[in-house]
Every structure is written in structure tokens, then in C-alpha cells.
Amino acid sequence: MKSYKDKKVISIGVVSELTGLSERQIRYYEQRQLISPERSKGGTRKYSFMDVERLVEIANKMEDGMQTFEIRKEEKQRANREQVRKKMLRGQLNTAFPNQRK
């Protein structure tokens, strides 16, 4: 599943160009935990194309007047629904085919 899209290889200057956001904004959204880049040994931030897409989404929501904590909450809910969905699917499979793999 891990593809190029998820590799953290892009520096903040390029991300700024790709998204149109200022470096200040990008760092601030990280501080608010909306994104989580990796760091090089020296400490420079590295982003993935996934992060770039996410930043564009964030920028849109900010334009709509949404606040950072709201965006973060929204993201957590999305992640939770994902979790529940998987859990339920697993439960149904276990009911239909009990004793499969252990």
C-alpha cells in the first residue's frame, strides 16, 4: 500500500509552492496537529504528496471560516468511523465463517 504518495521527501519550500500556503501557515498547521511531517537528521521537515493534498483541503476549509480545532476534530471523526467500519466487517465475517484462521 505504501506508495510514492506517502513517502516523506518534500521540503517545506516546495510544499509552499505546491499549495500556495506560506511556510508560516504550514508550520502552524503542524503545531495544531493537522499534519505530521517527518524530520531529517538535521531537523528539516519532510512532507509527502499526501500531506500536500491534505494541506489543500485544510486551506479550503480555512477559507470557509473553519477553525483549526474544528478541522482536527473532523479528521478524528473520519478516522473513528473508519475504525468502526473495519471492526464491524470483521465481526460479520467471524459470524459467517467462525473458526477461520485461529
Partner DNA sequence: CGTGTAAGGAATTCTGACACG
Contact set with DNA (CB under 7 A): 11-14, 22-25, 27-29, 32, 40-45, 62, 67-69
Query: Distance between CA atoms of 100 and 102, rounded to whole angstroms?
Result: 6
State which residue, 42 or 98, has the beta carbon closest to DNA. Answer: 42
Task: Report the partner that residue 49 touches, choosing among a copy of itself, DNA, none (CB closer than 5 to 8 A by kind).
Answer: a copy of itself
| 16 near a copy of itself, rule: CB under 8 A | no
Query: Distance between CA atoms of 29 and 98, rounded to whole angstroms?
Result: 45
Q: Are strands 38-39 and 45-46 parallel, antiparallel or unpaired?
A: antiparallel
Query: Distance between CA atoms of 26 and 15, rounded to whole angstroms?
Result: 8
Which range of residues in 7-15, 26-34, 57-65, 84-92 is near a copy of itself by CB under 8 A?
A: 7-15
Contact 15, 52 (CB under 8 A): yes
Query: Distance between CA atoms of 72 and 33, rounded to whole angstroms?
Result: 7
Query: CB 90 → DNA: shortest distance, Å?
Result: 37
Give me the residues that bind a copy of itself (CB under 8 A), please: 4-5, 7, 9-11, 13-14, 18, 40, 46, 49
